[in-house]
């Protein structure tokens, strides 16, 4: 049906909003099915960059699954970086990094942290609080690689400060050691 609509759109004028809505639904359908190749082909077939940007942003705002969010954040950053406001750019890059970190976690645990995918620092803090030290190590390494040369609202120093804060809390003893007397 989506392909029929696309052919129809080439033959007859379709209002811009209807075009955006139908392409968005088609894109989300392809992404939910896990067909990233066809999703990319769909976006490449759209000739108007403004429509393509609107479709991609609206699809991302629908909060699709993890792989779809990662794909859309990557696509928007790669193709429309200059067209985005600084705040939106930071938001999309944070979502990209958060989804990348989520992809490093064991598959069954991802659902527990998916709601934090747009807030990688908070996700890191949650992992620390849940004592998932091995996962934190991988997450920190991933974030360090992704943050190289990026400016997205937080830095490597923010990650290091968070780790230092929790390391300090881990060494806090709530009782005083008593001296042993003979």
Assigned domain for 178 exists: no
- Does residue 106 sit in the same domain as residue 58? no
- Does residue 3 sit in the same domain as residue 79? yes
- Does residue 74 sit in the same domain as residue 142? no
User: Pseudo-torsion of CA 39, 44, 50, 52, nearest 10°?
Assistant: 0
Among 35, 63, 83, the domain boundary falls at: 83
Q: What is the pLDDT of residues 75-121, one digit of tens each?
A: 998 899 889 888 888 888 888 888 889 988 998 888 898 888 889 88
Map 47-90 to HEC letters.
Answer: CCHHHHHHHHHHHHHCCCCHHHHHHHHHHHHHHHHHHCCHHHHH
- Does residue 111 sit in the same domain as residue 35? no
Among 83, 105, 136, the domain boundary falls at: 83
Domain that holds residue 75: 1-83
Whether residue 27 has pLDDT greater than 90: yes
- Does residue 103 sit in the same domain as residue 166? yes
Among 61, 83, 105, the domain boundary falls at: 83
Q: 0.85 exceeded by the pTM? A: no
Assigned domain for 179 exists: no
Q: What is the pLDDT of residues 64-79, one digit of tens each?
A: 888 899 999 999 988 9
């Amino acid at each position: 049906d989506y392909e029929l609509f696309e052919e129809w759109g080439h033959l007859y004028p379709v209002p811009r909003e209807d075009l955006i809505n139908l392409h968005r639904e088609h894109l989300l359908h392809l992404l939910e099915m896990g067909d990233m190749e066809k999703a990319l082909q769909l976006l490449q077939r759209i000739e108007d960059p403004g429509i393509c940007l609107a479709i991609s942003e609206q699809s991302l705002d629908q909060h699709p699954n993890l792989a779809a969010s990662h794909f859309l954040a990557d696509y928007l950053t790669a193709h429309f970086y200059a067209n985005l406001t600084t705040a939106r750019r930071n938001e999309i890059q944070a979502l990209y990094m958060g989804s990348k970190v989520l992809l490093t976690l064991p598959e069954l645990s991802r659902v527990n942290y998916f709601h934090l995918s747009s807030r990688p620092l908070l996700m890191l803090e949650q992992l620390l609080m849940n004592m998932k030290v091995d996962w934190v190590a991988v997450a920190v390494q991933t974030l360090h690689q992704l943050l190289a040369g990026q400016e997205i609202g937080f830095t490597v120093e923010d990650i290091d400060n968070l780790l230092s804060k929790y390391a300090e809390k881990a060494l806090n003893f709530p009782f005083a050691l008593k001296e042993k007397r003979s």
